[in-house]
Structure 1
Amino acid sequence: MTQPWPLPWEPDPQYRKRVAYFSMEYAIDQPLKIYSGGLGFLAGSHMRSAFDLRQNLIGIGMLWKNGYYDQVRHDDQSMRVQFQKKYYPFLVDTGICVSVTVNGHPVWVKALLLPPEVFGTAPLYLLTTDIPENDYLAQTITHRLYDTEPSTRIAQSIVLGLGGAQVVERLGGADVYHLNESHGLPLAFHLMTRLQDSQAVRRRVVFTTHTPEKAGNPEHELDFLRQMGFFGALSEAQVAEQTGMRGPRFSHTLAALRLAGRANGVSRLHGEVANRMWGDEPGICPISSVTNAQNARFWQDEVLRQALAQDDDAALVRRKRELKRQLFQVVADQTGKLFDPEVLTIVWARRFAAYKRADLLLHDLYRFARLIEQSERPVQLIWAGKPFPFDQAAIELFNRLIRLSYKTARCAVLTGYELQLSRLLKQGADVWLNTPRRLREASGTSGMTAAMNGAVNLSVSDGWVPEFARDGHNCLLIPDADPTLDAAGQDAVDYSQLMNILEHQVRPWYYDQHERWLALVKQGMRDVLPRFDSDRMADEYYRTMYEQ
């Protein structure tokens, strides 16, 4: 390492190792639209905490010209997918340009820098192929995050992994390479080619797996990956020796677990699930857990924080009401509905995926209508979230919720679920509703930032929640359904339990037992920090994963 590591600060001595953090997406700030959901939110918070703690860490990511997509509306208010070019004049051209081979053709990769002072993050190097040196097809590699074309998706991994590894070397090299999901896996093949020592590679590579879902653990034909150049300069025999896979199918997650020296799930429960999924596979590294977290400096309203610290209940209630008004301005702007800040407001907002069950509340429409429309203890409900842009079933569910919202003034469905709206929703919610099928939500960090802002988590006990929850004291838990039931049976049981909690605890406490409700709100705010602030997470990665 002959070139100085590119940090504008002297690293804290307890974070001595040079770490290069690879992620396909980062949610840094509203203007920089290079993320889709939870993986990006997590990576963004990690970069902020690395900055706050003066860690010896940089980020490597992709500069998506069209972002993920813009979620807008058709004339009938249903959801419309829009791809639009983005321009970021605050990024700095580093002058670094490297070459990778994709499907037998050279592709140039330029690195641009997001300077730390712009948004308060670790230095973030964003890779683009949309430069004049490339032909049009090569330029499109970095146009859309999670492109649906398989060859483009693999090309994106090649750019992130092989291109990013070369950029890190141009910056002076790293002691540890952290793969935030398997998207950047080709970097391990680059290291294998350079070091010619599998143990040396394992000492340098850390892998975080984020989901038990099939879509997050991709497999491809080995021949297809080899033809695309996924394995860099490694021969077929070397790939088989290092990954244990000789075809025809290649599992990206399993390969990462065999190439890395240390791996982790993103909650204690997910660590257990990951070990059940992969633990019997030969040759994998140990799988521990580092629970995800979110950056309180970015997410928590400062006035709420001060009111809690001063134990000023009146100030806390007053500020929460003001934050609800700010959220309701967005509701009014998008839907024409005038929500009341005195009314109990429930929010379900996250990435739209089938297992997250955005429509669980609609299991019995008559009972749902009684909940929403009761005159003495009314309820307002907001849905928000982005389906994958080509998941027609998820888009249809989103549109079905919009059509349902036409029938009542107390339901709203919002588009544009990005960082800014996410923060408004968490700060303006009274109840943050989380309804995944249990053991399928690896972490689910949105509830952390909701609790930081005085929203009560009403949740299935999954992901991070078991590490936080004290039912009736800092949150409200939906009891576990019998795991032997089929999906429809679990949905019916979870719905019944959810409605009982809303009808017999949430509404009476909010409207009739104000002190009890406020105690629940305040205890959630106290218990979520510092344990679920990303400063803890970033420190824990150094202590348990990087310094080993």
Structure 2
Amino acid sequence: MLTRDDIFGYTPDPKYSASVAYFSMEFAIDQALKIYSGGLGFLAGSHFRSAYELKQNLVGIGMLWKYGYYDQARDKEGLMVPSFVEKDYSFLHDTGIVFTVQVHDTPVHVKAFLLKPETFGSAPLFLLSTDIPENDEISRTITHRLYDPNEATRIAQSIILGIGGATLLDQLKMEPDFYHMNEGHSVCLNFYLYAKYRDLQAIKKRVVFTTHTPEMAGNEEHSYALLKEMSFFYHLQDHEVKHVLNLEGDMFSYTLAALKFSGKANGVSRLHGEVAREMWGANAGVPEITSITNAQNGAYWKDPEIARAINEDDDQAIAGRKKALKKELFKTVADQCGKLFDENVLTIVWSRRFAGYKRADLVMYDWSRFLNLISNAQFPVQFIWAGKPYPEDTGANELFNEIITRTKAFANCAVLTGYELGLSALLKKGSDVWLNNPKMYREASGTSGMTAAMNGSINLSLPDGWVPEFARDKENCFLIAVAADRKSDEAIDAAENSSLLEVIEQTILPMYYHRQADWLTILKKSAADVEPVFEAGRMAAEYYEKMYIS
């Protein structure tokens, strides 16, 4: 049996003595461990790095995805195609623990692996796998693909994470003070807890929940009939679930149920907290939804040399290091796209999880104006796009490849594949401007701009998610004006495209090329304002202060 010392390898700081089990479908801990897709995983990874730095009493429960999310490859025409490659991790510790979880009234064997804290400098993380010889082929596939497109498989993944994770903690004789659900995927752990305590209030004392999805359609739900058939409710019948949680209807909402099981809940920015309260607050049994704004771990993300130059207010060193970082990024551009970018040219990067509402192509909405922008010899500019669409999201994949096709002929435009932690870091360090233009009120938080700012890249953004808590236009960032006419998507896109291009043409480019001192003033102010407020040490401590208290 694993001892506490085997798991942690450190003594928790007394001020973080409350024990917490943190359930998440994805964790972006290190480039070498490909068990994440985007922002949810990036957030969990930084949380766990900072928890390790603070020596918090926190242990993670996640999934060991055999094929990860997917790898981005290119076809013979240079377009992006998903590729599924088996992963193998010799650095994970085989705990020797195997137990069974009922899925579809069938016992599925689950094996637990441990990512020890010293491996990558994170709080301990248990990863669950069903891809073991004891299982039949169907059961083995449960932990093959993160966010599998098959509905039954997705439900089975939640069962393994929630019920399997809670079972593992009992196997380890660990009874945490708090169970933290990072999004609703692990909601069925509460049915396991209900079988143990037989009392909703006893669960509420132990369970907290973080919601990340600010629009109703993005919150997962399935029919009660299918969930009952899949053994999702553990030992409860569907009518008992409805009675315990005071629910109605034929569809079971993961988010609403998670809220009703939780004693405390939070959104991931102040603005998202307001949206979440409007979405869910009227439901009986839902706790007050507070907000804890997302953050990122500075020690992991920052380039030490540019951070030192910024702290020392050394403009020459900042400019020199920034050019060196751009050169490093441009090696990847040349390798993938055959284009030689110039470190002396302003470089704008759009890079994040690739979804339609994030509008990767907004800058191109007025095509003729975009062509004028990228062909301006007086104020040259370079654009880079990167991101991962969900592999079954046809529209997002088509948009990704459309951007490749439309920009292929331009020597100063590049679309990169392989968007994971490593490329994300290169892009943040090598960009001058970090572009963020989602449709308003659809970005719960966003964090990529935080780590860009830590590396001397200035945010160019709409005031959504975390941005209103940070942004002061032309002082620490550049803001895109929100469209006043919101009657149609076309009107919004047209107005916000116009504002975006106006900021680039009239403010950003002249300042970068003719007023470098002003540019560096904004760059330094941006870096100073992003830490410590948007550094994950603040966030990890705030979860203890607000959520992990009785």
Per the normalisation by structure 1, the TM-score is 0.98
Pick the aligned partner of 2:455 from 449, 453, 456: 453
What amino acid maps onto 2:165 in structure 1? G
Give how far 1:106 is off: 0.4
Pick the aligned partner of 2:382 from 370, 380, 383: 380
Give how far 1:4 is off: 4.1
The residue that corresponds to 1:360 in the other structure is 362
The residue that corresponds to 1:92 in the other structure is 93
The residue that corresponds to 1:212 in the other structure is 214
Give how far 1:16 is off: 1.0
The residue that corresponds to 1:298 in the other structure is 300
Matched, 1:480 2:509: no
The residue that corresponds to 2:157 in the other structure is 156
The residue that corresponds to 2:124 in the other structure is 123
Kept after mapping to 2: 8 A contact 1:355/1:436: yes
Structure 2: how far apart are the matches of 1:392 and 1:3?
A: 47
The residue that corresponds to 1:180 in the other structure is 182
Give how far 1:242 is off: 2.3
Give how far 1:169 is off: 1.8
Kept after mapping to 2: 8 A contact 1:293/1:537: yes
Kept after mapping to 1: 8 A contact 2:222/2:252: yes
Q: How does 1:319-334 map to 2 (within 5 A)?
A: 319-334=321-336
The residue that corresponds to 2:112 in the other structure is 111
Paired residue secondary structure (2:382): strand
The residue that corresponds to 2:68 in the other structure is 67
Runs of 4+ in 1 over 6 A off after TM superposition: none
Structure 2: how far apart are the matches of 1:185 and 1:373?
A: 52
What amino acid maps onto 2:420 in structure 1? E
- Identity level (%): 56
Pick the aligned partner of 1:395 from 394, 397, 405: 397
Give how far 1:60 is off: 0.5
Kept after mapping to 2: 8 A contact 1:361/1:495: yes
Structure 1: how far apart are the matches of 2:107 and 2:191?
A: 18
Kept after mapping to 1: 8 A contact 2:328/2:430: yes
What amino acid maps onto 2:80 in structure 1? M
Structure 1: how far apart are the matches of 2:493 and 2:466?
A: 21
The residue that corresponds to 1:10 in the other structure is 11
Matched, 1:288 2:290: yes
> Which range moves more in the overlay, 395-404 or 5-14?
5-14
Give how far 1:482 is off: 2.1
Structure 2: how far apart are the matches of 1:112 and 1:287?
A: 33
Matched, 1:492 2:482: no
Structure 1: how far apart are the matches of 2:165 and 2:522?
A: 46
Structure 2: how far apart are the matches of 1:67 and 1:3?
A: 29
Q: How does 1:131-170 map to 2 (within 5 A)?
A: 131-170=132-171
| CA displacement 1:164-218 (0-9 Å, x = unmatched) | 0011122222110000000011111111110111111001101000011345301
What amino acid maps onto 1:479 in structure 2? A
Q: How does 1:246-261 map to 2 (within 5 A)?
A: 246-261=248-263
| CA displacement 1:128-157 (0-9 Å, x = unmatched) | 000111111100000000000000000000
Paired residue secondary structure (1:322): helix
Structure 1: how far apart are the matches of 2:224 and 2:232?
A: 10
Structure 2: how far apart are the matches of 1:402 and 1:329?
A: 18
The residue that corresponds to 2:23 in the other structure is 22
Q: CA RMSD in A?
A: 1.2
Give how far 1:238 is off: 2.6
The residue that corresponds to 2:469 in the other structure is 467
Give how far 1:247 is off: 3.3
Paired residue secondary structure (1:52): helix
Q: How does 1:301-316 map to 2 (within 5 A)?
A: 301-316=303-318
| CA displacement 1:54-89 (0-9 Å, x = unmatched) | 000001000000000001100100011100100000
Give how far 1:3 is off: 6.7
Note closer, same or farther for the CA distance 1:341–1:96 as it changes in structure 2 (3 Å cut).
Answer: same
What amino acid maps onto 1:413 in structure 2? V
Matched, 1:426 2:454: no
Structure 2: how far apart are the matches of 1:415 and 1:80?
A: 10
What amino acid maps onto 1:147 in structure 2? D
Paired residue secondary structure (1:272): helix
| CA displacement 1:21-42 (0-9 Å, x = unmatched) | 0000001111110000000000
Give how far 1:352 is off: 1.1
Pick the aligned partner of 1:404 from 392, 403, 406: 406
What amino acid maps onto 2:126 in structure 1? Y
Kept after mapping to 2: 8 A contact 1:242/1:259: no
What amino acid maps onto 2:192 in structure 1? H
5+ residue gaps, structure 2, are none
Give how far 1:313 is off: 1.0
Structure 2: how far apart are the matches of 1:98 and 1:160?
A: 13
Structure 2: how far apart are the matches of 1:215 and 1:247?
A: 16
The residue that corresponds to 1:514 in the other structure is 516
What amino acid maps onto 2:373 in structure 1? L
Kept after mapping to 1: 8 A contact 2:476/2:522: yes
5+ residue gaps, structure 1, are none
Kept after mapping to 1: 8 A contact 2:103/2:231: yes
What amino acid maps onto 1:539 in structure 2? A
Paired residue secondary structure (2:8): coil
Give how far 1:491 is off: 0.7
The residue that corresponds to 1:82 in the other structure is 83
Per the normalisation by structure 2, the TM-score is 0.98
Give how far 1:334 is off: 0.1
| CA displacement 1:409-458 (0-9 Å, x = unmatched) | 01000000000000000000000000001100000100000000000000
Structure 2: how far apart are the matches of 1:535 and 1:97?
A: 34
Pick the aligned partner of 1:535 from 531, 534, 537: 537
Structure 2: how far apart are the matches of 1:220 and 1:244?
A: 17
| CA displacement 1:393-416 (0-9 Å, x = unmatched) | 111101111011222101000000
Paired residue secondary structure (1:546): coil
Pick the aligned partner of 2:196 from 194, 197, 213: 194
Give the number of aligned pairs. Answer: 547
Give how far 1:13 is off: 0.8
The residue that corresponds to 2:319 in the other structure is 317
Give how far 1:281 is off: 1.4
Kept after mapping to 1: 8 A contact 2:228/2:237: no
Kept after mapping to 2: 8 A contact 1:242/1:258: no
What amino acid maps onto 1:57 in structure 2? L
Give how far 1:392 is off: 1.0
The residue that corresponds to 1:228 in the other structure is 230
The residue that corresponds to 2:38 in the other structure is 37
Give how far 1:235 is off: 2.7
Kept after mapping to 2: 8 A contact 1:100/1:106: yes
The residue that corresponds to 1:279 in the other structure is 281
| CA displacement 1:352-395 (0-9 Å, x = unmatched) | 11110001011111110111111111100000001100111111
Give how far 1:311 is off: 1.3
Structure 1: how far apart are the matches of 2:90 and 2:46?
A: 22
Kept after mapping to 1: 8 A contact 2:216/2:279: no
Paired residue secondary structure (1:346): strand
Structure 1: how far apart are the matches of 2:518 and 2:529?
A: 17
